[in-house]
C-alpha cells in the first residue's frame, strides 16, 4: 500500500511541476467558464454572480383558480429573488419581448385550463387537458431551464392533486359520505383547497432529480457552468495521467519500477492513484477558486466531496484505458483530446442535455461528465448526498470496470513487465 501512495504522490508532484499541464488543467477551465458565462449573458454584475431576477412574462387567460395559483406562485416571496414576473394579456407581445431578449421566457395559461382539470359541471368534463405554453429564450438556456423547472413542479403538483382528488371524491361517493350530486361541489372545494393551500402560500418547490423537494433559491448559473468545464478538463488531466504511464515506459523508469521489490499490481495501482490524486487536486482547486472569486454556491459540502471523489474515480478509469489501448504517449494525447471534447459535448459541459433526444441522453452516461453533471446540478439545485446515489454509483462502477479492463490489457501487452 505504501508503494501505491509513493508512486501516486510522486506523479502528483511531477504533474504540478509541468507548467503546460497546469495551464490546461487549471487556467483553461477558468477562462472557458468565464467566457461562456459572458457569452450567454448569465453572469450578473455585483457580488452575487448567480441567477436572480429572471424576467418572465405570464399571460393568464384562464381566470380560474389554477391560473391564479400559477401567477401567485411566481409572485410568491420564496421566488422573489429568483424570478421577476410581469403580467401581460397579450401572449404575442410577450413572445416578442422574449425574442428581443427582454425576458427569459413567456408563459401562457390558456382559457379553460382550470376547467380542464377541475370541471365546473358534468357537461364540461373532458379527457383533454389544456396545455400551458412555455416560450423560452434560447440565448438564456439556464434561466429558461429554471422557469421550466418551476412550471413543471407546479404542473406535477396539479397533476398529483387531480389524481388524488379524483380518488378521494370517488371513495367518498363509494363509501356513501357524499352523494353523486354533491361530488361536483366537493371536487370544486378540493380544487380550491389545493390552489389555496398548496400554491398560493408560495410553497412551490423545484423538484430534484430523484423527486425530493428542495428550495429553489440557491440556483446559480456558474454553479451549473463551472462543473461542466471542470469535468471536461478533468478528462484532460486523466488522459495526461494515463499518458504518463507510457512516458515512463519510454524513459525507462517503468522498467526500473518493475525491478524494485514491487508487484505489477502495485505499480499500476500507484499510477492510477497518481491520476486520481491529480484529478482531485484539480477539482478542489477549481471549486475552491470559483467559490472564493465568484462566491459560487456548489451545494452540500459532504455531497460535493463525495461527488468529486466519485467523478475523478470514474474519469481515472478512462485515463487508464486510454493508456492501455494507445501505443505511444502522442496517441494518448490525440485520443485524449478527442475524448475530452466528445465527453464534454455528450456530458452537457456546453449545453443542457435536456435539449437532446432521450437516446443521446442515455448514451451520454458512458461519460463521467454526464454522471458528474447530474450530480453537480442536483447539488446546485439544493440536493444533498442522499440525492446523489445514482451519479455516485454510476461513476464508481464506471471507474472499477475500466480499471479491471485496463489492467487486463496492460498486462497482456506487457507494458510494465514482459
Partner 1 sequence: MPPILQASHLVKRYGDFTAVDDISFEIQEGEIFSLLGPNGAGKTTTISMLSTLYTPTGGDAEIGGFSVTRSPMAVRCLIGVVPQELALYDDLSARENLNFWGNMYGLSGKTLQTRVDEVLEQIGMTDRANQRVKTYSGGMKRRVNIGVGLLHKPRLLFMDEPTVGIDPQSRRAILDSVKDLNKGGMTVLYTTHYMEEAQELSDRVGIIDHGKLIAIGTQSELTRQVGEMDTLRLHVGENDPVEALVQALQGMPGIQKADQSDHTIDVITPSSEEVLAPVITKANEIGVKIRSVDIQEPDLESVFLHLTGRALRD
Query: Which residues would be at the binding site for partner 1 (CB under 8 A)?
Result: 2-3, 6, 10, 13-14, 17-18, 251-253, 255-263, 417-418
Kindly state the helix (H) or strand (E) to which residue 86 belongs, with its residue range.
Answer: strand 83-88
C-beta of 202: minimal distance to partner 1 in Å?
Answer: 58
Q: Which is nearer to partner 1, 67 or 270 (CB)?
A: 270
Q: Which is nearer to partner 1, 6 or 168 (CB)?
A: 6
- Whose grid coordinates read 416571496? 77
C-beta of 333: minimal distance to partner 1 in Å?
Answer: 18
C-beta of 11: minimal distance to partner 1 in Å?
Answer: 9
Q: Which is nearer to partner 1, 2 or 327 (CB)?
A: 2
d(CA 226, CA 97): 29
Q: Which is nearer to partner 1, 46 or 252 (CB)?
A: 252
Q: Which is nearer to partner 1, 17 or 412 (CB)?
A: 17
Burial 171-206, CB ≥16 within 10 A → b, else e: ebbeeeeeeeeeebebbbebbeebbeebbbeeebbb
C-beta of 417: minimal distance to partner 1 in Å?
Answer: 6
d(CA 176, CA 251): 86
C-beta of 236: minimal distance to partner 1 in Å?
Answer: 19
d(CA 308, CA 313): 8
Pairing of strands 133-136, 54-60: unpaired
Helix (H/G/I), strand (E/B), else coil: 52: coil
Distance of CA 55 to the CA centre of its chain: 22
Q: Which is nearer to partner 1, 160 or 251 (CB)?
A: 251
Q: Which is nearer to partner 1, 171 or 253 (CB)?
A: 253
Q: Which is nearer to partner 1, 1 or 122 (CB)?
A: 1
C-beta of 281: minimal distance to partner 1 in Å?
Answer: 16
Pairing of strands 105-109, 54-60: parallel
- CB neighbourhood size of 98 (10 A): 22
C-beta of 243: minimal distance to partner 1 in Å?
Answer: 15
Question: Do residues 359 and 334 touch, judged by C-beta distance below 8 A?
Answer: no
For residue 323, what are the β-bridge partners? Answer: none
C-beta of 418: minimal distance to partner 1 in Å?
Answer: 5
Which residues have a Cβ under 8 Å from the Cβ of 112 and sit 6 or more positions away? 62, 64, 130
Q: Which is nearer to partner 1, 194 or 416 (CB)?
A: 416
Pairing of strands 54-60, 83-88: parallel
C-beta of 252: minimal distance to partner 1 in Å?
Answer: 4
Q: How many CA atoms lie within 13 A of 82 on its CB side?
A: 26
d(CA 350, CA 359): 18
Instruction: Please choose, from the candidates 159, 161, 160, 154, the residue with its C-alpha nearest in 3D space to the C-alpha of residue 85.
Output: 154
- Quote the cell numbers at residue 33: 467558464
DSSP summary character for residue 23? I
Q: Which is nearer to partner 1, 117 or 275 (CB)?
A: 275
- Residue 86 backbone dihedrals phi, psi, to 5 degrees: -125, 135
C-beta of 332: minimal distance to partner 1 in Å?
Answer: 18
Amino acid at each position: 500500500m505504501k508503494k501505491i501512495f509513493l508512486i501516486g504522490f510522486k506523479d502528483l508532484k511531477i504533474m504540478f511541476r509541468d507548467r503546460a499541464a497546469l495551464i490546461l488543467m487549471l487556467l483553461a477551465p477558468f477562462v472557458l467558464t468565464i467566457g461562456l458565462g459572458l457569452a450567454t449573458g448569465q453572469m450578473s454584475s455585483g457580488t452575487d454572480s448567480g441567477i436572480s431576477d429572471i424576467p418572465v412574462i405570464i399571460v393568464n387567460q384562464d381566470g380560474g383558480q389554477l391560473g391564479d395559483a400559477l401567477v401567485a406562485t411566481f409572485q410568491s416571496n420564496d421566488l422573489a429573488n429568483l424570478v421577476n414576473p410581469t403580467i401581460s394579456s397579450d401572449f404575442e407581445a410577450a413572445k416578442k419581448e422574449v425574442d428581443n431578449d427582454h425576458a427569459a421566457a413567456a408563459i401562457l395559461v390558456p382559457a379553460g385550463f382550470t376547467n380542464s382539470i377541475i370541471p365546473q359541471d358534468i357537461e364540461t368534463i373532458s379527457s383533454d387537458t389544456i396545455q400551458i405554453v412555455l416560450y423560452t429564450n434560447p440565448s438564456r438556456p439556464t434561466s429558461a431551464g429554471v422557469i421550466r423547472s418551476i412550471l413543471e413542479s407546479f404542473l406535477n403538483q396539479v397533476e398529483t392533486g387531480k389524481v388524488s382528488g379524483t380518488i378521494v371524491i370517488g371513495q367518498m361517493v363509494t363509501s356513501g359520505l357524499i352523494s353523486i350530486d354533491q361530488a361536483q361541489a366537493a371536487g370544486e372545494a378540493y380544487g380550491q383547497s389545493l390552489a389555496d393551500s398548496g400554491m398560493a402560500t408560495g410553497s412551490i418547490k423545484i423538484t430534484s432529480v430523484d423527486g425530493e423537494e428542495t428550495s429553489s433559491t440557491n440556483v446559480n448559473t456558474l454553479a451549473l457552468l463551472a462543473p461542466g468545464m471542470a469535468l471536461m478538463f478533468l478528462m484532460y488531466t486523466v488522459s495526461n495521467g494515463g499518458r504518463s504511464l507510457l512516458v515512463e515506459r519510454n524513459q525507462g523508469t517503468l522498467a526500473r519500477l518493475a525491478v524494485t521489490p514491487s508487484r505489477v499490481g502495485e505499480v499500476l495501482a500507484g499510477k492510477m492513484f497518481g491520476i486520481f490524486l491529480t484529478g482531485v487536486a484539480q477539482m478542489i482547486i477549481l471549486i475552491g477558486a470559483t467559490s472564493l472569486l465568484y462566491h459560487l454556491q456548489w451545494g452540500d459540502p459532504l455531497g460535493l466531496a463525495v461527488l468529486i471523489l466519485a467523478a475523478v474515480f470514474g474519469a481515472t478509469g478512462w485515463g487508464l484505458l486510454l493508456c492501455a489501448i494507445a501505443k505511444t504517449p502522442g496517441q494518448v494525447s490525440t485520443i485524449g483530446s478527442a475524448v475530452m471534447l466528445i465527453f464534454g459535448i455528450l456530458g452537457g459541459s456546453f449545453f443542457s442535455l435536456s435539449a437532446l433526444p432521450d437516446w443521446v441522453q442515455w448514451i451520454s452516461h458512458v461519460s463521467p461528465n454526464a454522471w458528474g453533471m447530474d450530480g453537480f446540478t442536483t447539488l446546485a439545485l439544493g440536493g444533498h448526498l442522499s440525492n446523489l446515489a445514482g451519479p455516485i454509483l454510476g461513476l464508481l462502477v464506471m471507474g472499477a470496470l475500466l480499471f479491471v479492463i485496463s489492467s487486463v490489457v496492460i498486462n497482456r501487452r506487457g507494458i510494465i513487465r514482459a
